[in-house]
C-alpha cells in the first residue's frame, strides 16, 4: 500500500524541477561532462524559469512532469550533433529521451536555439 504522500507524488509528479538532478542522471554522447560547452548547457537550463523548464522536459521526454523519484530518473541522453557554422536547432527523440545538441559558438546562441526549439515544439499534439 502507498502512503498519502507517495500516492500524491505518483499522481502529481515531483513538485520541484531540479535540473541539477536531471544532470546527475544524464548520459553524454560525444561530449565530455567537464568541457565548458556542456557546463554552459547545464547553466542555461538551470537559469530557465519554471515554464521554460516544463517546456524543455516536454520537448525531450513528452511530459512536462518530473517522474516519481526525481529528474535523475529521466536518464536524459545528450548527443553531439553538428557544430558551427550551423543554424540547426536542437532536436529531441522523446521515446529515447535523447537530445541531439549542436555545438554552437556562444552560450547566447545555445540559449536562443534551445528556446526556439522548445517554444516551437508541437509534441504529439495531444491536449
Residue 12 designated active-site: no
Of these residues, 4, 11, 95, 126, which one is catalytic? 95
**pLDDT digit string, tens, across residues 91-120:** 999 999 999 999 999 999 999 999 999 999
With beta carbons less than 8 A apart as the criterion, state whether 91 and 81 touch.
yes
| Separation CA 96–CA 50 (nearest Å) | 23
Provide the 10 A C-beta neighbour count for residue 96: 13
**pLDDT digit string, tens, across residues 50-99:** 999 999 999 999 999 888 888 999 999 999 999 999 999 999 999 999 99
Sign, Cα dihedral of 70, 40, 49, 117: negative
Amino acid at each position: 500500500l502507498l502512503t498519502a504522500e507517495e500516492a500524491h507524488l505518483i499522481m502529481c509528479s515531483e513538485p520541484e524541477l531540479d535540473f541539477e538532478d536531471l544532470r546527475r542522471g544524464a548520459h553524454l554522447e560525444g561530449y565530455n561532462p567537464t568541457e565548458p560547452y556542456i557546463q554552459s548547457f547545464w547553466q542555461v537550463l538551470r537559469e530557465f524559469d519554471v515554464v521554460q523548464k516544463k517546456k524543455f522536459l516536454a520537448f525531450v521526454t513528452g511530459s512536462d512532469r518530473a517522474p516519481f523519484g526525481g529528474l535523475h530518473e529521466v536518464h536524459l541522453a545528450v548527443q553531439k550533433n553538428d557544430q558551427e557554422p550551423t543554424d540547426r536547432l536542437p532536436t529531441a527523440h522523446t521515446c529515447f529521451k535523447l537530445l541531439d545538441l549542436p555545438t554552437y559558438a556562444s552560450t547566447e546562441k545555445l540559449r536562443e536555439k534551445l528556446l526556439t526549439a522548445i517554444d516551437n515544439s508541437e509534441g504529439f499534439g495531444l491536449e
